[in-house]
C-alpha cells in the first residue's frame, strides 16, 4: 500500500511549524470573513435595487436567490473541480471570482449585469468554504477543533463589519461605487493571500484516510444535526422581529434585539468549540440544544425587557453549536475532508433557505407562537439524534473532558 507524503506540516508532524499553521489559519479566516461579509452585505443593497429596477418583493427574493443558490449548490462541484489546486491558488481564485462578480454588478450593465454578477460572485464564494475548512484541518491535524472554531467565528466578524460599513457608505455614495469599494477589499485580500496561504498542495496521510473511513455513517447523522441546528436558528430569526413588535417594541428596538442576539451568537461561536473540548461533542450539543429550546420558549412568555436580557444568552447557544459541529466534520468524514465540508455546507445552507418557508407555513396555518414552538421543538429533536453519534466518535471526544498529559 502506497503512503502519501505530507507536503504541508500538521500538528501530528513533529517538524510542524507553528508560524506556518498560524499563517494558514489567518489566510482561511480572512477569506471566510470577507466572503461572509460579501454575503450579508447584499441585504443592504436590496432597497436600492428595488428602487432602480422597479422590483417587487418576490422579484427581490429571486434576485437574492441567484447568489445564495449558486453559493450553496456549487459547494460540492467546486470542491471536486479544484481539489488539485494549492490552498493559495484556491483561496485567491475564490476571492478573485467573487470580486469579479461585484465589479460586474458595479458596472452599468443594467438588470442583466446585476443578475450575472450575483451568479459569478456566488460561484466565487462557493469555493472558499470547503477549501478554507480543509486548509485549517490539514494544517492542524487532530488538533483542528479549536482552529475550526476560530475559522467559524471569523465569518461572523465579517458579517458584522462589512454590512455595517456598507450601511454607512450607502447614504453617501450610490450603490455601484460601494460595490466597487467592496471589490477593492477583495483585491487587497488576494494580494495578502500570496504570502499567507501555503503554495504547495496538501496531501492527506494514507493511514489517516483509512482510519477515518469507519465513520461514514456518523457523518450522515452529523450533517442532519447541522441542518436541524440551522433550521432552528433561521426559524427563530424569522419570528423575532414580530415577537418584539408584539411586546410593544418599535423598529429601533427590533434592531437592538437582533444586535443582542448576534453579539451572543458571535461569543458562542468563539467559546463553544472550547466547550466541545472540555465536555465532549455529545454533551456539548445536548447542553446547547436543550438550552436553545428552553430559552426560545422562555422568550414567548416574558415581557419586553426580560426578553431583551435573554437574547444574548440565547444567541450563545443558538449559534454556538455550529462550532462544535464544524469541528467534528474531519473526524466523521470518510477520509475526504474537503468533500465532507462541501456536503456539510451544502446541507446547512440549504436548510437555512428552506426552513423559514416551512416555519412560516406552520405559522400561517396556526399562529406565530406555534411557529416559534416548532423551532424550539426542532432544537429539542437534536438531543436524542446526537446520541446516535456516540458509536462513531473516538472515546476522547464523546462526552468526557479531554485531559492533557
Average pLDDT, the chain: 81
pLDDT for 202? 56
How confident is the model over 166-196, as pLDDT tens digits? 888 888 888 999 999 999 999 999 999 998 8
- Please give the average per-residue pLDDT across 131-141, as a whole number: 82
Q: How high is the pLDDT of residue 57? A: 65
Residue 73 has pLDDT above 50, yes or no: yes
Q: What helix, strand, coil percent values describe the chain, rounded to 5? A: 85, 0, 15
Reported as a single tens digit per residue, the pLDDT across 311-328 is 999 989 988 888 788 778
Distance CA 183, CA 35 (A): 11
Give CA–CA dist 247/242, Å, rounded.
9
Domains of the chain are 18-196 (1.20.1250.20), 207-398 (1.20.1250.20)
| Per-residue model confidence (pLDDT) at position 77 | 86
CB of 282 within 8 A of CB of 389? yes
Average pLDDT of the residues in 85-94: 88
23-27, 63-67, 142-146, 245-249: lowest mean pLDDT where? 142-146
pLDDT of res. 201: 62
pLDDT at residue 258, as a whole number: 79
Give 58 or 399, the one with higher predicted confidence. Answer: 58
Which DSSP symbol is given to 391?
G
Tell me, what's the pLDDT at 207?
39
Backbone conformation region of residue 289, classed left if phi is above 0, alpha if psi is from -120 to 50, else beta: alpha
Q: Where are the alpha helices (DSSP H) in 83-215?
A: 87-106, 110-140, 145-169, 175-196, 206-212
Amino acid at each position: 500500500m502506497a503512503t502519501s507524503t505530507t507536503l504541508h506540516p500538521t500538528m501530528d508532524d513533529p517538524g510542524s511549524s507553528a508560524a506556518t499553521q498560524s499563517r494558514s489559519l489567518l489566510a482561511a479566516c480572512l477569506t471566510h470573513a470577507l466572503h461572509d461579509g460579501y454575503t450579508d452585505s447584499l441585504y443592504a443593497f436590496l432597497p436600492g435595487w428595488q428602487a432602480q429596477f422597479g422590483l417587487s418583493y418576490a422579484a427581490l427574493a429571486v434576485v437574492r436567490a441567484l447568489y445564495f443558490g449558486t453559493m450553496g449548490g456549487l459547494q460540492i462541484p467546486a470542491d471536486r473541480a479544484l481539489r488539485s489546486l494549492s490552498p493559495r491558488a484556491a483561496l485567491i481564485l475564490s476571492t478573485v471570482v467573487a470580486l469579479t462578480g461585484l465589479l460586474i454588478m458595479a458596472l452599468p450593465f443594467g438588470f442583466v449585469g446585476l443578475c450575472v454578477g450575483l451568479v459569478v460572485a456566488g460561484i466565487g464564494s462557493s469555493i472558499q468554504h470547503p477549501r478554507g475548512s480543509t486548509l485549517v484541518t490539514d494544517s492542524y491535524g487532530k488538533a483542528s477543533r479549536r482552529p475550526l472554531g476560530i475559522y467559524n467565528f471569523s465569518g461572523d466578524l465579517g458579517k458584522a463589519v462589512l454590512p455595517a460599513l456598507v450601511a454607512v457608505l450607502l447614504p453617501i455614495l450610490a450603490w455601484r461605487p460601494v460595490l466597487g469599494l467592496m471589490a477593492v477589499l477583495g483585491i487587497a485580500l488576494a494580494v495578502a493571500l500570496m504570502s499567507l496561504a501555503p503554495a504547495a498542495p496538501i496531501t492527506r496521510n494514507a493511514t489517516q484516510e483509512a482510519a477515518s473511513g469507519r465513520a461514514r455513517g456518523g457523518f450522515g447523522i452529523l450533517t442532519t444535526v447541522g441542518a436541524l441546528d440551522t433550521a432552528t436558528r433561521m426559524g427563530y430569526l424569522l419570528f423575532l422581529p414580530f415577537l418584539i413588535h408584539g411586546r410593544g417594541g418599535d423598529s429601533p428596538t427590533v434592531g437592538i434585539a437582533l444586535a443582542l442576539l448576534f453579539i451572543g451568537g458571535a461569543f458562542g461561536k468563539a467559546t463553544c468549540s472550547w466547550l466541545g473540548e472540555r465536555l465532549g461533542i455529545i454533551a456539548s450539543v445536548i447542553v446547547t440544544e436543550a438550552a436553545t429550546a428552553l430559552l426560545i420558549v422562555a422568550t414567548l412568555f416574558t415581557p419586553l425587557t426580560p426578553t431583551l436580557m435573554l437574547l444574548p444568552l440565547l444567541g450563545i447557544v443558538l449559534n454556538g453549536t455550529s462550532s462544535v459541529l464544524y469541528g467534528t466534520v474531519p473526524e466523521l468524514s470518510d477520509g475526504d475532508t474537503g468533500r465532507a465540508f462541501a456536503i456539510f455546507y451544502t446541507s446547512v445552507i440549504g436548510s437555512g433557505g428552506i426552513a423559514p418557508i416551512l416555519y412560516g407555513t406552520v405559522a400561517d396555518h396556526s399562529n406565530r407562537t406555534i411557529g416559534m414552538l416548532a423551532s424550539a421543538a426542532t432544537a429539542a429533536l437534536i438531543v436524542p439524534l446526537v446520541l446516535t453519534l456516540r458509536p462513531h466518535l473516538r472515546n476522547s471526544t464523546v462526552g468526557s473532558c479531554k485531559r492533557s498529559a
